[in-house]
Structure 1
Amino acid sequence: MTEKSLTTYLQDKKAKGQKLFIPYIVAGGSGLERLEEEIQMLADSGATAIELGIPFSDPVADGPIIQKSAQQAFAHQVTFAKIVAMLQKINAPVPIILMGYANSFLRFGFERLLKELESTDVKGLIIPDIPYEHQELILPALDQTDIALVQLVTLMSKKERIEQLVKGAQGFIYAVTVNGTTGVNQTYRESLDKHLADITELSEIPVLAGFGVSERAHVERFNTCCDGVIVGSKIVDSLARKGVKETGKLVLNLTGNAG
């Protein structure tokens, strides 16, 4: 299997000593007509890549902020098909990673989706409710594409399990930092830093910490023990309440690029 471009892209950033920053937003949470502007803002503010969440009615990992944004997307009549059609028109400055639940992908049709994504900048998928043991449902089709399937590692994962998950993994490792749903104001356990460092030591590809990362202090903390962070709810909330310009300032602050 040929190495995915998302893997080599992130590995190159890491090799140059850069810490990775991947923001998450709900596609169409502010209306699809604003998606291109939001993607450009995130890239201009220092995003290494961008996660786009597919709105879903019954999420299991998303907290109230992201749930609310998904409901707003539905109010804007956003669908998976409309998101893909919009991405076919957008020239994204950084790789795009689609994050959604298995039901959304299966209902759209996986073969159809991969065909329609060929003309987009989507380079990765995150499907949190497809466990490692069932990834063969989609990996054979992905092998024929340049789209990586990103693995998640939780706090409950023991060393043997982590070794299994990181072996042959693509893109990056999504290291979940809490037992629960996404959201701000999370309390992190004291052993988290060692857990992240252990995953990073075992993984041949970059490891990013996500869930609850919402302050510059969180970013600085996790950058010391893994390769970067994923920030979602904080950015989604800012887009909903303050708009694109102010959210750009927030992201600049989180990435340490604020002047």
Structure 2
Amino acid sequence: MNLLPGVARGRKALVPYLTGGITADWTDYLHAFEAAGADAIEIGLPFSDPMLDGVTIQQASDHALARGATVASILADLAATRVGVPLVVMTYANLVVRAGPAAFCARLAEAGVSGLLVSDMPVDEVAEVEQAAADAGLALILLVAPVTTDERLAEIARRARGYLYAISVMGTTGERATLAGSAATLAARAKAVTDLPVLVGFGISGPAQAAEAGQVADGVVVGAALMRRILDGATPGELGVDLAAMRAALD
């Protein structure tokens, strides 16, 4: 499944992240992101123990859970929302396993989701989810890290669908002042073993970092910087302006 057709035409992909249920009007941010030039949108399902996420997205997740957001409520909101770019759900294995991979993936597809990223599930354990995602027509997004060995990188690239997510640092998500030097090395290694778009994430916090990452990868994922703005009260329109600046920097 080609989630990012613009990449084949030379466009750098911009994939913003949004914690589902973070505000009462959270789906309005989806429309703002689309209008600002997002190529796809990653939606995080709030989880009580988000081990891959740093302080900002942990706070966003806590905020959504305190509002009463659930997997069911988020998927119902998505099913009632029409967005013209692919939606990718980012979640943790606990939520997938508890529902059962087949049932979970079917629910995502019914809500209009196109891709799935299970951030804490290693490739060695992904077979059942891989099959369930394929059966539901979902692209299974997989992660690679700076410490991923060449052999493991090739295996992950072979099994990934949609795009390959290259995390720029060994650590959690979060805003950072500069793009890690390991991002360029990892992006080059990943691009050497896959025809999928390779997107860099973790620490993309503004237009300059987006442009720098776009020089070495096929696009970027930006999350914590946007969630910080929402937690600080930014409206969909204001966040759309921020994202449009990143779009311009990538272009």
Q: Quick check: TM above 0.5?
A: yes
How many residues get paired? 249
2:171 is matched with 180
- Residue 24 (structure 1) aligns with: 17
The residue that corresponds to 1:253 in the other structure is 245
Measure how far apart 1:196 and its partner are: 1.2
Question: Gaps spanning 5+ residues in structure 1: where?
Answer: none
Work out whether residues 175 and 225 of structure 2, in 8 Å CA contact, stay in contact via their aligned partners in 1. Answer: yes
Distance 1:186 1:102 in 2: 30
Deviations 1:172-221 (A, max 9, x none): 00000011100002554434313212211221100000001002111111
Do structure 1's residue 112 and structure 2's residue 114 form an aligned pair? no
Corresponding position of 1:141: 132
Matched with 1:218 is 209
Change (3 A) 1:166 1:17: same
Q: Report whether the alignment pairs 1:41 with 2:35.
A: no
Compared with structure 1, are the counterparts of its residues 191 and 130 closer, same or farther at alpha carbon in structure 2 (3 Å cutoff)?
closer
Secondary structure in 2 matching 1:150:
strand
Q: Which amino acid letter does the alignment assign opposite residue 246 of structure 1?
A: E
Indicate whether 1:204 and 2:202 are aligned: no
Say if 1:90 and 1:120, in contact at 8 Å, map to a contact too: no
Q: Is residue 2:7 matched to residue 1:14?
A: yes
Normalised by the length of structure 2, the TM-score is 0.94
Q: Which residue of the partner structure matches residue 82 of structure 1?
A: 73
Q: Tell me which residue corresponds to 2:86.
A: 95
- Measured after TM superposition, the shift of residue 168 of structure 1 is 3.8
Q: Matched residues in 1 for 2:27 and 2:54: separation? A: 25
Contact conserved, 1:81 with 1:108, CA < 8 A, in 2? no
SS of the residue corresponding to residue 144 of structure 1 reads helix
Give the whole-Å Cα distance in 2 for the aligned partners of 1:115 and 1:142.
8
Distance in 2, Cα, partners of 1:87 & 1:47: 17
Letter paired with 1:177: S
Aligned-partner SS, 1:66: helix
**How much has 1:110 moved relative to structure 2?**
2.8
Aligned residues of 2:46 and 2:64 also touching (Cα < 8 A): yes
Q: Structure 2: which 5+ runs fail to align?
A: none
1:109-143 Cα distance to aligned partner (Å, 9 max, x none): 33333333333321110001110001112122222
